[in-house]
Amino acid sequence: MSEKEKEIQKIFNDYMAEIIADGAENETLRVALKRAVNSYRGNLKKALELFPDSIDYKEKARKIKEYSIDHLEELIDQTKKAVERNHGVFHFAKDADEANEIIADIVGKPKKTIVKGKSLTTEETELRQYLQEKGHEVWETDLGEFLVQIRDGRPMHMLAPSVDLTREEAAELISKITGKDLPKDRIDTSVEAVREFLRDKFTKADTGISGANVIAAETGTLFIIENEGNIKVAASCPDKYVALVGVEKIVPTLEDAMHLVKTTWRFANYVVPSYVHMISGPSKTGDIEKTTTYGAHGPREFHMVLLDNGRLDVAKNDDFKELLYCMKCGACMYECPVFWVTAGHFGKKYPGGIGALWDAFVATGMEEAAPSVYSCAICGRCKTRCPLNIDTDKMIKKLRKILYKKGYTPAILKEMKDTFFKG
């Protein structure tokens, strides 16, 4: 085995060790995941019964994404103009490092308090860790993401980052950080304790950061779906508000954006979310002489940081551009047998089969993504569940060809090939 092959094998071995130790041998994970899947299916059923037209949304949503990804550069330009017209500051980051640097510049000198909303894009760039290293106090304010932060873990699901935790484990973690002795069998007391703990951080925060679900290019408007209200506060209280968003989230119009937002929430487990924010610029008032003045009650500064990090290349690749249609609703993972089998340890930064593709092309690179790519059962159940009908298993098979050519195939499969197909 060459040094390179040894290195590849080590990545696979580490992955196997992780999914066995953290996954297969963890009884509580099974309980947590089972509860989550049953709850998801029940909620989706309720949503579809109440709003049967959701089924028809899917086709239009797919068309909007197809058009948007095919016209991405044009839409980025349109978004930039709109944000600047709205007195916001537009930034374009070629990669993760550049995005983090831009945001660190916006935040300013060390020792600032920053409150963050849950965002896979900030996980992709490892923004929290970057800002912490710069000497800032950064708090994840989504409950699930807060639990990820305090246990120094990683999100296990696109929308439910702590889907692998039971109520008992959550209570224990929250008790530690709040200094309260919380009952282990209750969820509401844990939620209340976090609410109280983070109130203080929200009021002290200098900067609020979030991602966004969709951007409407015509007005430069961010659409953000949430239930907890943490983003509402993080995007309103601090002086500065920054949104870090992948370029693939842009669609042409407000109507298109709302259509995608509705499709996302229906399949993301909500009959209706508590909040859908539309943010187009800094806080302003025209109440005195109808003269617009910026910095009323909300943030004085509005920054939109659009992240490329490989997305624009993928958009031009006919074999893989479909992965950019993903709205990150996370529905596929509740039906994915591998997500279950690996107890959520399927994918590196982006979870699931679609996450393996995101990791390969955007977040981690192909070498790191290889174990997830080879974990996919290519059973196609994710496509059945996906509101955008994304053919993940077809892309996985194509990606495996690339990985094979690059030498990122695990040894066990190479051995099988050599045994079965000699000569």
Partner 1 sequence: MKVLVAGMSNLEHQGQQGVIDSITSLLKKMGVDYQIFTDEVKCWEATLNLGFEDISEKVSKEFKEKAEATGADLIISSFAAGVQKWRTELPNQYGLELGIPYIHVSQFIADEFKKSSPDLAPFPHKYFVQHGCTLGRKMKGFQAIRDVLSYVPEIEVLEEEHPTAELEKMDKAEFNTCPGSWLNFTQPELGDYIKENYVLSVLAPANPDYAGSTCANGHYGIVQGLEIAEIEDIKPLYFTELLDRIWR
Query: Interface residues with partner 1 (CB under 8 A)?
Result: 16, 19-20, 23-25, 30, 34, 41-42, 44-45, 48-49, 52, 55, 335, 337, 340-343, 374-375, 377-381, 384-385, 397-405, 409, 412-413, 416-417, 420-421
For residue 400, the minimal CB distance to partner 1 (Å) is 3
For residue 44, the minimal CB distance to partner 1 (Å) is 5
Q: Of the two residues 46 and 94, which places its CB atom closer to partner 1 in the complex?
A: 46
Residue 137: helix, strand or coil by DSSP?
strand
Q: Of the two residues 58 and 81, which places its CB atom closer to partner 1 in the complex?
A: 58
Q: What are phi and psi of 226, to 5 degrees?
A: -160, 165
For residue 390, the minimal CB distance to partner 1 (Å) is 15
Q: Of the two residues 33 and 147, which places its CB atom closer to partner 1 in the complex?
A: 33
For residue 9, the minimal CB distance to partner 1 (Å) is 14
For residue 340, the minimal CB distance to partner 1 (Å) is 5
Task: Extract long-range pairs of 196-200: CB within 8 Å, 24+ residues apart.
Answer: 198/115, 198/139, 198/141, 198/146, 198/230
User: Strand 221-226 and strand 214-216: pairing?
Assistant: antiparallel
Q: Of the two residues 44 and 212, which places its CB atom closer to partner 1 in the complex?
A: 44
Please give the Cα distance from 103 to 307 (Å, whole number): 12
| Count of Cβ atoms closer than 10 Å to residue 364 Cβ | 19
| Count of Cβ atoms closer than 10 Å to residue 310 Cβ | 18
The residues near 404 (Cβ < 8 Å, ≥ 6 apart) are none
For residue 88, the minimal CB distance to partner 1 (Å) is 39
Q: Of the two residues 252 and 380, which places its CB atom closer to partner 1 in the complex?
A: 380
Please give the Cα distance from 79 to 280 (Å, whole number): 10
Q: Of the two residues 109 and 405, which places its CB atom closer to partner 1 in the complex?
A: 405
For residue 41, the minimal CB distance to partner 1 (Å) is 5
Question: Which amino acid appears at position 346 of this protein?
Answer: F
Take residue 288 and report the two structure tokens written for it: 């005195």
Please give the Cα distance from 145 to 155 (Å, whole number): 7
DSSP string covering 76-115: HHHHHHHHHHTT-EEEEESSHHHHHHHHHHHH-SSS-EEE
Q: Of the two residues 39 and 189, which places its CB atom closer to partner 1 in the complex?
A: 39
- In the chain, count of helices (H) and strands (E)? 20, 12
Take residue 239 and report the two structure tokens written for it: 């002086």
On whether the CB atoms of residues 98 and 91 are closer than 8 A, the answer is: no
For residue 170, the minimal CB distance to partner 1 (Å) is 21
